[in-house]
Amino acid sequence: MTTRKHDVVQVRNPRSGHYVKIDRTEGRIMSHKKSAGKYKNVPVARKRK
């Protein structure tokens, strides 16, 4: 199954401070960064109102 580009978002883990890449369609964590900073070309998920 292929995922569309906008179905993948990143959020910051408050405990470690690193970013985590999440697949919205399956609701699974895809990967996490070991280095500081954000993923390139991946949108950051914002809180919903």
Q: What is the pLDDT of residues 7-29, one digit of tens each?
A: 899 999 999 999 999 999 999 99
Residue 46 is assigned to a structural domain of this protein:
no
In this structure, is residue 14 part of a structural domain?
Answer: yes
Decide if 18 contacts 25 (C-beta within 8 A).
no
Q: Per the domain annotation, does 1 fall within a domain? A: yes
pLDDT for 29: 94
Determine, yes or no, domain membership for 13. yes
Number of domains the chain is built from: 1
In a domain, 45, yes or no: no
**Per-residue b or e along 3-16, where b marks 16 or more CB atoms closer than 10 Å to that residue's CB:** eeeeebbbeeeeee
Q: Per the domain annotation, does 5 fall within a domain?
A: yes
Whether residue 21 lies inside any domain: the answer is yes
What's the pLDDT score for residue 48?
A: 80
Residue ranges making up the domain that contains 27: 1-34
Tell me what the pLDDT averaged over the chain comes to.
Answer: 89
Kindly state whether residue 44 falls inside one of the protein's structural domains: no
